[in-house]
Amino acid sequence: MSRRDLLCDTAIQILAVEGGRGLTHRAIDREAGVPIGTTKNYFPTREAILTAAAARMTSLHRAAVERLRETTPHDISPADVAELYPALLRRAVDGDPTQMLAMVELYLEAVRRPGVREALSGMVLANAEAGAALQQAAGLPSTVRDTGLLDAYFLGVAISLLALPAQTLAAVGLDDPYALGIGVFCATVPGAGPGQAASAASSSS
């Protein structure tokens, strides 16, 4: 791993743990175990750090998308694709939430920082294109607009699961991550509906 990537990965970790306020040149230097001043040499401003972190996340997502394309079986079914979203939701919330939490922080920064906005745009488009290609491989007539909406729903659900206490999630019907994952899929994918949800549920049992 290059030193630049190390600093970006460290910035992503700090964003996830400390939030935007904790992201400083010195904090990255300390966490990465590099001499003080190293991060500032690579990224002179805080906006440069944020933009580089967003670009790094985009690069990591593109690599994951490529791996997904290479490993997608030829006989993948709509139910198989539907099952992917509960699994992704569990990983984002109960597994390692670093990427999701950092992404939320970057979304907030992107509201005010055009460089971060541009970098995040690449990641959103890559994810939507990959999702559409995967769903089309399963015989679904999905478009990039469909999968872009699905990803937006997914992000909102994941944030709620990460941010709200269990009793609140239960009160508003957000306490079943599996049902939520299937639900966002069926709500946005053309041709998916209650029958598809039942098929996915039966395939998991």
Task: Judge whether residue 198 has pLDDT over 90.
Answer: no
Q: What is the mean pLDDT of residues 186-199?
A: 69
How many whole angstroms from its chain centre is CA 167? 25
Q: What is the spatial distance between Cα 8 and Cα 5, in angstroms, rounded to a whole number?
A: 5
Tens-digit pLDDT profile for residues 91-133: 888 888 998 999 999 999 999 888 888 888 888 888 888 889 8
Could you give the percent of the chain with pLDDT greater than 70?
93
Tens-digit pLDDT profile for residues 62-71: 787 777 767 7
Q: Which residues span the domain enclosing 169?
A: 3-204
Q: Between these two residues, 39 and 72, which has the higher pLDDT value?
A: 39
Number of compact structural domains in the chain: 1
Residue 180: the pLDDT is: 94
Tens-digit pLDDT profile for residues 142-176: 999 999 999 999 999 999 999 999 999 999 999 99
Q: What is the mean pLDDT of residues 25-32?
A: 97
CATH number, domain of 127, equals: 1.10.357.10
Q: Extract the tokens encoding 137.
A: 């491989």
Supply the pTM of this predicted model.
0.81
Average pLDDT score over the chain: 88
Residue 194: the pLDDT is: 52
Alpha helix stretches (DSSP H) within the chain:
3-18, 25-32, 38-42, 46-71, 78-90, 98-110, 114-137, 144-163, 166-171, 177-188, 194-204
Residue 203: the pLDDT is: 47
Residue 60: the pLDDT is: 84
